[in-house]
C-alpha cells in the first residue's frame, strides 16, 4: 500500500509538471490534420506553429489579423486557436510570400470571410499556379494597417527568399514577423526560380536591423520565437557561407566540386538540422552567386 501511495505521488507530480510546462508554452488546438500550438508573444500578439510556416496573430477590437495560414487542412485547428483568444472574426490574412506552407489555407480563410493581402508578386505567382485563394489587396512596397490599437507596418524585401517577401512589424507591440527571410537556427531555403537570392536575403536581414532592438520579439518563417541576438547570429552565418562559396567559384570549382568541398563543415552541425541540408545549402548559394 505504501508503495502504491509513493507511485501515485510521483505520477501526480509528473502530471503537475507537465501542466505547468504546457501553460508556459501556451495552448494547443487539434484538428483532423494536425495540431496548432498557440503562444503569446506580446500584448494581443501570438505565434501559431503547426504544419507549415509560423503564423502571426493580432487580436483586439478591430478583429483578428493573421500572418500566413499554412496548408489547407490546417484551417480548422488554426481557426480554433484564434477562437481560443478572441471572439472576433479573422478580418485579414497577410501572406508573407507565395509558398504553399504559408498560403495553402487562403481559399478556406476567404470563404470564412477573411480578406487575403500580399505583395503584388505573390498574387501573380499564386495565379500562375492555379490557386483559387488569391489575394484581393496587394502592395508594391509598403503599407500601414491601423489595427487593434497598433501600427502594423508591412514592407517588401526584394529578391530575398522569393521576389514577393514582405515583413510585418507590429510597432507598438515591438514584434516583427519576418516570414521566410528568417529561418531561425537553420539553413534557409532560397527559391531562386521565384526570384530569391543570397544577396537579397542578406539585404532583407539588414533592413530588419533598422527597426528592431534588444526587446523585439522576432517571429521567423521557420524555427522558434527569436531575439535580436539570434538574428545577428543568422546574419553572420549567411555572410560567412556566402564568402566561402564565392571563393570556390572564383577558383573555378564546379557546383558539384563546391558541394563536395563542404565549405561550411564547421557550421553544419548547428545550422544543418532543418529541411535544407548542408549540401543543398551550398548548392543554392552556388546557384545564386553564379546566376
- Find out whether 119 and 165 touch, Cβ atoms under 8 Å: yes
Within 10 A of 204 (CB to CB), how many other CB atoms are there?
A: 25
- Dump pLDDT digits (tens) for 22-40: 333 467 766 555 799 999 9
| Partners of 177 in beta bridges | 168, 219
DSSP assignment string, 39-67? EEEETTEEEEESSSS-EEEE-STT-EEEE
pLDDT in tens, the chain (291 residues): 434 333 343 333 333 333 333 333 467 766 555 799 999 999 999 999 999 999 999 999 999 999 999 999 999 999 999 999 999 999 999 999 999 999 999 999 999 999 999 999 999 999 999 999 999 999 999 999 999 999 999 999 999 999 999 999 999 999 999 999 999 999 999 999 999 999 999 999 999 999 999 999 999 999 999 999 999 999 999 999 999 999 999 999 999 999 999 999 999 999 999 999 999 999 999 999 999
- Taking alpha carbons only, the member of 167, 164, 163 closest to residue 182 is 167
Helices (H) and strands (E) in the chain, counts: 10, 13
How far is the C-alpha of 247 from the C-alpha of 286, rounded, in Å?
10
Share of the chain above pLDDT 90, in %: 88
Task: Give me the torsion for CA of 268, 269, 270, 272, rounded to 10°.
Answer: 60
DSSP H helices in 129-227: 198-209
Query: Which tens digits make up the pLDDT trace of 40-67?
Result: 999 999 999 999 999 999 999 999 999 9
C-alpha cell read off for 24: 508556459
Sheet of 150-156: strand order equals 142-147, 150-156, 166-170, 175-183, 217-222
Model pLDDT for residues 75-110, shown as the tens digit of each residue: 999 999 999 999 999 999 999 999 999 999 999 999
- Would you say how long the chain is, in residues? 291
**Grid cell digits, residue 51:** 504544419
Whole-angstrom distance, CA of residue 216 vs CA of residue 95: 21
Cα–Cα distance list, 31 to 11, 76, 78 (Å): 28, 6, 9
pTM summary value: 0.89
Residue 34 is predicted with a pLDDT of: 78
Amino acid at each position: 500500500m505504501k508503495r502504491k501511495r509513493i507511485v501515485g505521488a510521483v505520477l501526480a507530480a509528473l502530471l503537475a509538471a507537465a501542466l505547468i510546462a504546457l501553460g508556459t508554452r501556451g495552448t494547443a488546438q487539434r484538428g483532423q490534420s494536425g495540431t496548432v500550438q498557440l503562444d503569446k508573444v506580446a500584448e494581443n500578439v501570438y505565434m501559431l506553429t503547426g504544419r507549415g510556416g509560423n503564423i502571426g496573430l493580432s487580436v483586439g477590437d478591430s478583429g483578428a489579423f493573421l500572418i500566413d495560414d499554412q496548408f489547407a487542412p490546417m484551417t480548422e485547428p488554426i481557426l480554433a486557436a484564434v477562437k481560443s483568444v478572441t471572439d472576433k472574426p479573422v478580418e485579414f490574412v497577410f501572406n508573407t510570400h507565395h509558398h504553399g506552407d504559408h498560403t495553402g489555407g487562403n481559399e478556406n480563410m476567404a470563404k470564412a470571410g477573411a480578406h487575403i493581402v500580399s505583395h503584388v508578386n505573390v498574387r501573380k505567382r499564386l495565379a500562375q499556379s492555379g490557386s483559387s485563394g488569391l489575394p484581393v489587396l496587394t502592395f508594391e512596397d509598403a503599407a500601414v494597417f491601423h489595427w487593434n490599437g497598433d501600427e502594423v507596418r508591412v514592407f517588401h524585401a526584394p529578391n530575398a527568399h522569393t521576389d514577393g517577401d514582405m515583413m510585418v512589424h507590429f510597432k507598438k507591440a515591438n514584434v516583427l514577423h519576418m516570414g521566410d527571410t528568417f529561418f531561425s537556427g537553420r539553413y534557409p531555403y532560397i527559391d531562386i526560380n521565384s526570384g530569391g537570392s543570397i544577396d537579397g536575403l542578406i539585404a532583407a536581414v539588414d533592413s530588419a536591423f533598422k527597426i528592431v532592438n534588444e526587446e523585439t520579439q522576432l517571429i521567423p518563417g521557420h524555427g522558434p520565437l527569436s531575439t535580436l541576438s539570434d538574428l545577428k547570429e543568422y546574419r553572420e552565418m549567411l555572410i560567412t557561407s556566402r564568402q566561402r562559396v564565392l571563393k570556390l567559384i572564383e577558383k573555378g570549382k564546379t557546383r558539384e566540386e563546391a558541394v563536395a568541398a563542404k565549405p561550411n563543415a564547421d557550421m553544419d552541425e548547428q545550422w544543418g538540422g532543418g529541411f535544407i541540408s548542408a549540401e543543398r545549402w551550398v548548392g543554392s548559394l552556388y546557384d545564386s552567386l553564379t546566376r
